[in-house]
A and B are shown apart, each in its own frame.
Chain A
């Protein structure tokens, strides 16, 4: 899988997450998608999908470290390679004060690249 061709989506985030990520995304590399509620279906608020490329993965890592201190975070990540092949993976991390952005970035990068 060529790094430049990987498209990444993070699913199931909230408006608060969107605001926090947007505040860290100084170069405006990330876009957000929000779907309308389904007819007949009530429930928790519609969620936000965060769309980014590999270059913006650092923003995601910074967000995880800054906003999830002393808690376990679980992200559902969907990747699509240049040929359109899709994978869905989970990233679960207990973030502490010692967790560094570089550590999270390394793990996220490995995860989106998949088994080599």
Chain B
């Protein structure tokens, strides 16, 4: 079995990624040549636990981007790319000004959503644990249970808790968290620490008025919906009228939206949210999980989204014009946004009746349904894309011979609440025009064409200004426990090395990193201190780290009679 040698479709710098617009994922450490068996074999469903942190991070991004706001941004980006391609190839002519207007909105939203999305993903990695008070768990947590838990499928909460407890006790996870605590606070390198600190402070504020948020997975779901199912933002992004101040409208809205959390009647909002969450449908997906939006606003957002997507929604069969092919490609890219790509590999395929046998080196990998009427030489090397449909509890495997789609497999995951994908519109897969690699290559070409008409360099200054403005806003949220007159100075001192600049003693920083991971499993002071003692961290050490935080005017730890939580 040969893992596909990466070209551009790979981790260029040793990191996993998720594309905001296509929702295409690269799990950098998932190597199907080693891990396919654990993914598809019945009742095994296991991946090595060292892959879990990266998996949780990217699965959280994928879940966030498969949302109304994610869809609005995707359709703006894809429409602009397609129109640039059509203009440059002479298929159709679109005004560059309209493309520029779309990119102004996309850029503004990306600059603001980036730290928030990274903050949510880091919170999922380091802090989230499910609680017994809520029946359902977030999709990233459910799939973490699916791929990494030692427990039987039905014991979801216990399985997740054991998995998280195990991975958060490792030296690798401590280094990972310490690396974030030492990250920059300028926003220029992705806004990881500003976003993470802001999410933690929002959690702390929310917990103050709604104790059900001790269940940090519930908080993750709630905040994800609040940010990424923001109907007003979708309307702003998709407004067909050009606005000279489009960027500032987007930025100001996102800031106002976040600030409104402090005024929201959280107990009432959580009641409604839980009613929707437990009221049927798949776990945490769907239009019912919208917070603080009127039915009229939801309708307006959905209508604008449908209108913006209209030219890509028709899937003409038979002969297609070049323009229709471009539309089809983007329509399919959009339709695949719900699939979370786990990986791709090459294998040898042969037909056995109605089945397609995949093997390598004489070893059988799996047998799938062969698409009838598609000819290809046999045996031959094929490309296999392995994907999860997170909201539908199934795995989808597509097999490609060059541009031809030659086989497929659907594997329903037991123990889930979905319908195995029956409600997913699989009819559109009949029109798939290429593997993930083809899709990514096409997307890259189209993006380059858009960049040639609306060069990124010309947008860079505006993006930098937005980034700086939003980073200032986030600093107020992130330093919520710091006295107001001191915030600017403290934030400035954190510019290049974050929390590490406030704790010059490296041993203390490592202890803070460990205390955060240990206290994520339970807020119980007694249990956390017992756990920390196994790592040679005493209560005196905890108090010493607390004192370092107080000296730096940034409280790191909340230690009360029965509670121990970290604020950073």
Contact = CB atoms under 8 A, between A and B. Distances in A.
Given A14-B179, A39-B110, A19 B61 contact: no
A17 B179 contact: yes
A68 B447 CA distance: 41
Contacts of B317: none
A41 B182 contact: no
A111 to B, nearest CB: 18
Contacts of B121: 42
B221 interface: no
B118 A47 contact: no
A41 B17 contact: yes
B283 interface: no
A19 B13 contact: no
B18 interface: yes
Given A42-B118, A43-B58, A11 B183 contact: no
A19 B497 CA distance: 10
Interface string B3-42: 0000000000111111111000010100000000000000
A11 B13 contact: yes
Interface stretch (B184-192, B287-295, B377-385, B541-549): B184-192
Interface in B501-559: 506, 509, 513
Please classify the interface of chain B as helix (H, G, I), strand (E, B), loop, or mixed, using the class held by over half of its residues: helix
Interface of B: 13-21, 26, 28, 54, 57-58, 61, 65, 77, 110, 114, 117-118, 121, 171-172, 175-176, 178-180, 182-183, 188-190, 192, 447, 456, 497, 500, 506, 509, 513
A42 B18 contact: yes
A54 interface: no
A84 interface: no
Interface residues of A, number: 31
B17 A42 contact: yes
Given A12-B13, A43-B16, A45-B183, 18 more contacts: A15-B497, A16-B513, A17-B175, A19-B178, A19-B506, A39-B110, A39-B456, A40-B447, A42-B20, A42-B114, A43-B18, A43-B26, A43-B61, A44-B17, A44-B28, A71-B171, A71-B172, A76-B14
Contacts of A116: none
B192 A45 contact: yes
B15 A45 contact: yes
B15 A40 contact: no
A1 interface: no
Contact of B180 (A12, A38, A45): A45
A36 B18 contact: no
B57 A43 contact: yes
B126 to A, nearest CB: 12
A73 B179 CA distance: 17
16 contacts: A12-B14, A12-B15, A14-B176, A19-B182, A19-B509, A39-B456, A40-B77, A42-B17, A42-B18, A43-B26, A43-B57, A44-B16, A44-B54, A44-B57, A46-B13, A49-B13
